[in-house]
Structure 1
Amino acid sequence: MTAQSEKLQKVLASLGLGSRREIEGWISEGRVSVNGTIATLGDRVDETAQLRVDGQLISRQQAQKTCRVLMYNKPEGELCTRKDEAGRPTVFDRLPQIKGGRWIAIGRLDLNTSGLLLFTNDGELANRLMHPSHQIEREYAVRVFGEVTPQALKNLRRGVKLEDGMAKFTTLRQRKQDEDSQNQWFDVTLNEGRNREVRRLWESQELQVSRLIRLRYGSLALKKRLPQGGWIELELDDVNALRRSVQLPDEAESAVDGKQNKLDHVRLSRMRRSVKKHRVKREHNIKRTKRERFGS
């Protein structure tokens, strides 16, 4: 009887090594081998295959048994990359260590966008939540500079043609604001996550986004008390709500103790001190690097 095979990127993603998209990049770069042979996109493997990434043997027993998800309140000025050659801050800098895998960002937020960003150790969950076929709704608060006409709002609701195809807001609601303000706030939702899509939609109407905050991803809303730069791990009910939204089975257990996960005064104070300490340390390191490069 022939062993059942699966796509290589799906197998590696299930081990918590990265998202499928990330791993496809590794395969294209020649970083992955199967039974001693450099892998190519489209390869399928069974449970007997010997897998290596960057020459390191991957244990098939290291798969994460518990799906974990972090909620992070991203500040402006952080990059959605693991490491930046220029030493700029990234969203991964302050995340907790994880054994036998690594955190995978579910989607991205650009440098000047803040708000809700989710991370998981489950590559299949990350892939499904990001894939357009699942139509996972994202909600944003947007501050727009310029005169927003009724026709512009009508266009954004009906759909406009961008360089990568048609796009529209599934909902678009104006917030109450001062009459003399040149900036107007809107709440908008999208069912996909194309690059800079919210900004490009407004720019198509000759309007500029001066502030952009993600408030919700699927059923999960950003916790109002969570400070920028802070994170919490989601409890079992929230994790399973995400999994059900993309047709994955429920998890039976959680890595989180609900009592320890409350955003009470003590934990918030500790979290804010940690964020501030990290920011001061990072600024010190940047100054030191500049002195080493260019002299005092």
Structure 2
Amino acid sequence: MRNRKNNPQSSERRKEDNNSDAPRKYGRKNFRPKSDATKRRKSDDGSMRLNQYLAHAGICSRREADQLIEAGVVAVNGKAITQMGYRVQESDVVKFNGRTLKTDKKRYLLLNKPRNYSCRLDDFGKKDSVFELIKGSCKEKILPIGKLNKNHSGLVIFTNDEKMSAKLSHPKHEVKKIYHISLSNPLKSLDFK
């Protein structure tokens, strides 16, 4: 393999390429701002990509869904769809191999978590897990938004709504959380130094 860094010919060629106005495949000159279509797609209009819908319905993964869409076995409102990136609305009827698909209803559960119960997914099925407290509350798979330590008590929200979960837990949304703290000993001025 040639060492390109130390090769004077290739370094001269790189200098020429950087100074030329020829179209480049990569680099800043070929940068395009996001189109209006991209901005529209990111808006929250309640739509979802068809491959994502199939994955949420439990048919397959998103990549496998792309193959099913290409094969033309997925229909939306009676029309076979083969277009990648097709977006469906909540009101659309989606069929796969003639069977109507439904995604899970969004479920929300509030739990006043007692002390000595774990919110960790690793503890699922254990006796001291919050999942044992909510077992049988709904048939959908719901997960906690955020976590409280095992020795803390307080509100834990469970949901299968990924958008809401992201909005409440991601730092960029700056959702405020209020904590009420009880101390076993009163604070002294030395504790603040």
State the TM-score, normalized to the length of structure 2: 0.45
Query: Higher RCO, 1 or 2 (CA under 8 Å, sep at least 6)?
Result: 1
Q: Higher strand share goes to which structure?
A: 1
